[in-house]
Structure 1
């Protein structure tokens, strides 16, 4: 089919569509135009065939299932009617505590989304959903590339992004707004975004791994590890701490690097006092080996000099780490905690260690204090 000169929309138009059954859209030589929003209800399953182009003016919301599997020769394009960043809201895949949504995207380009707020703050946003994205491109949004707002603790879900490109989004490449953003990230190309990495807003919950994908992690606000939770960080991972951010460990933290691949907790800007501290609270456990902790110690309180590592727990082992450029102490110890702090390099801080109990015995042998 050929269409031209037909008012403002040359294509197959769906006006405010609500799909509650099986539907397959196949190429007809014209784009499909979702005008006024397009909702796939819980009972619905929409399939986009290879080579299809979909143009959207507001939202594309999947509460049921979406299958969009293209090929290298016939990719699928989901774009805006208005082809400028924020020209439409973005693709939202979101279920609820009763039923997960599902989406499979392969050889798909999503572009120019992110005009809305909350659920539509990205080209692709997910929540309470199983989503797999492979061989795809997320680009030219008005805010984030991919937004994950997690799900219900009793409703397991997974988001997998592999062999894909996230580019030219002025917000974050990938951002998490929940403690339970379970994501698998593999072989990603991430360029031209406001922050080229994975952004964790708040603490993690459950059992979470941060693998070394080649992308940095960013922590905003009060990050860390929630109560009864566990975070394992792989060697070579870089964690950039946001302005005045904290990393509070109430669960278990395993950050075991190597001499060749240390784990880095550093300020997003290499500025003394940029972030506050990594804090292990009374119920927390932490093992840090071959780590770098730097540019913290910000927001000091009168009467006590906090370290950029602050320990309220004795269940802490820190060894072979480099702790430097704190606006306060390198370490501070409170509440009678007796951690093991050995074989570290502690230098260029306002103070080496501070404690609020003069009788506390801290095993801090074999460190280099510079």
Structure 2
């Protein structure tokens, strides 16, 4: 008698064709993180807010599932070395796929060995805490992060607090986060154009008010998303802004180039540099205030809109303090609630500023103060 086809298939199928049992997950306790630990198994579970006071190494291909409200918090003496590969990434995720389900990674140590590479962090970043962020670099801490995806954060994807440091940042991806990045002004130069952003609720890089000083020469690159400034950075060195960059300002804030600093924002006709308000309202943000006489103070092929807060530091879209100097050319300056350009006593503005710039819908044009 002929056997049915499916019966023959069962008879000849090799034993390993049966459904494989997934490897067991090992549950980690808080006590295990008080001594050096290397995670070599493919699957782990953490259900606690664990304080890590010793080195933690996570091998490529490892997945850690975190219970609700759980976290890894790295203290002095501890660090995280999570280095995966493109083929074997490390995955840190919630046991449930929901934004903010677990707290996240809290980097509190300043070890140079804190490193995330080819890691996916998802479902973290609870809202409502003072240290929001799926990955938080705490006060005085440091982190190197590259080829890492931070996804589905209820608050901030990567949050760098005051005096925290991004020692390296390269080719990361932020997706489905409330805010992908929150950093200090001094961190902005670390960001690279290879980093990508997708489907974030607020698709910008937030530059917060803590440590709002730029004390070393830096370049801000043109990113796929705008910079959003919620403070007025004081530029004490030379800052270059790349063509195509877009800077948006929270209400009342601007840029202050002090007497030792300089700002070069030189775009192109096809890739201008944009300075604008977070809202399209005249005078929404302060403006750009030059205090130095550096020949590197250049605004060329820029778009400056909705600046000129009345009574602000600049009190114009662009202002030159007494004795300062700047070149403003081939730029559009519009919708200032005060002047387009304010030139104070003994300040030096290029003589062709009125002819080479397009100034419109401002309360005043170029104002010379004697």
TM class, shorter-length: 0.7 to 0.9
Q: 1:345 aligned to 2:358?
A: yes
Structure 2 gap segments, 5+ residues each: 1-19
CA distance in 1, matches of 2:81, 2:38: 9
- Are the equivalent residues in 1 in contact too, given 2:293–2:326 (CA < 8 A)? no
Over alpha carbons, which structure has the higher Rg?
2
CA distance in 2, matches of 1:144, 1:301: 33
Trace 1:1-370 onto structure 2 (pairs within 5 A).
11-17=25-31, 19-28=33-42, 31-41=43-53, 44-56=54-66, 57-63=69-75, 64-95=78-109, 99-115=110-126, 120-127=131-138, 128-151=140-163, 158-162=167-171, 164-170=172-178, 172-177=179-184, 179=186, 183-202=190-209, 203-207=212-216, 208-221=218-231, 223-226=232-235, 228-250=236-258, 251-281=261-291, 286-298=297-309, 300-301=310-311, 306-312=315-321, 313-340=323-350, 342=353, 343-357=356-370
CA distance in 2, matches of 1:144, 1:220: 15
TM-score normalised over the length of structure 1: 0.80
- Are the equivalent residues in 1 in contact too, given 2:213–2:233 (CA < 8 A)? yes
Deviation at 1:114, TM superposition (A): 1.4
Cα distance per residue 1:68-90 (max 9 Å; x no partner): 22334432211224432121211
Report which of the two has the higher share of helix. 2
CA distance in 2, matches of 1:131, 1:305: 36
Deviation at 1:180, TM superposition (A): 5.0
Indicate how the Cα distance of structure 1 residues 229 and 327 shifts in structure 2: closer, same or farther if over 3 A, else same. same
Indicate how the Cα distance of structure 1 residues 305 and 180 shifts in structure 2: closer, same or farther if over 3 A, else same. closer
TM-score normalised over the length of structure 2: 0.80
Deviation at 1:137, TM superposition (A): 1.5
Deviation at 1:349, TM superposition (A): 1.0
Structure 1 gap segments, 5+ residues each: 5-9, 358-370
Indicate how the Cα distance of structure 1 residues 294 and 338 shifts in structure 2: closer, same or farther if over 3 A, else same. same
Deviation at 1:167, TM superposition (A): 0.9
RMSD over aligned CA atoms reads 3.0
Indicate how the Cα distance of structure 1 residues 347 and 22 shifts in structure 2: closer, same or farther if over 3 A, else same. same
Cα distance per residue 1:28-54 (max 9 Å; x no partner): 5xx32223222332xx32111222221
CA distance in 1, matches of 2:98, 2:330: 50
Deviation at 1:135, TM superposition (A): 3.1
**Partner SS state of residue 19, structure 1:** helix
Cα distance per residue 1:165-223 (max 9 Å; x no partner): 201111x21111464565232412202223323221233322221012333211113x2
Pick which of 126-135 and 309-318 moved more: 126-135
CA distance in 1, matches of 2:111, 2:314: 48
CA distance in 1, matches of 2:292, 2:89: 53
Residue in 2 that maps onto 1:364? none
CA distance in 2, matches of 1:277, 1:351: 14
Report which of the two has the higher share of strand. 1
How many residues in Structure 1 have an aligned counterpart in Structure 2?
336
